[in-house]
Amino acid sequence: MLRFVLKFGITGVALFFIARHIPGITLAGWQPLLIAMLAFGLINSIIKPIFALLTLPLTILTLWLFSFFLNIGFFALVAFLVEGFEIEGFMPALIGALLLSFASGVANKLL
């Protein structure tokens, strides 16, 4: 349980810094941040493993490049679902998804 809470917190801190420093990604306060953290947690724990398994042949064929597009899609999905979390274009979504994936990977390695 503590591990989940720490991962959740690291994702939130990373999302906060991404929204503050990447032009084109905006968060309109703490409430959208908390809702986006919850949405990322749910998507990463429920939906992402299913999609990763279903697209495994394509992911292997593209040498794991397709997994980056899945991350971008999930990042954009959270922005679509959460009011107050906006992404303006593909490049901010790409950079934000890569940075959030990096932060999640570091959190997984540390915990």
CB atoms within 10 A of CB 63: 8
* Distance between CA atoms of residues 47 and 56, nearest Å: 14
Q: How far is the CA of 6 from the CAs of 42, 50, 92, in angstroms?
A: 15, 24, 26
Residues 6+ apart with CB under 8 A from 19: 25, 26, 27, 33, 85
CB 83 within 8 A of CB 14: no
* Distance between CA atoms of residues 86 and 59, nearest Å: 28
Q: For 1-111, where are the E strands, in sequence order?
A: 25-27, 85-87
The model's pTM is 0.90
For the chain, give every domain's residue range.
2-110
83: tokens are 């009011």
pLDDT tens digit at each of 111 positions of the chain: 888 888 888 889 999 999 999 999 999 999 999 999 999 988 988 999 999 999 999 999 999 999 999 999 999 999 999 999 999 999 999 999 999 999 988 888 888
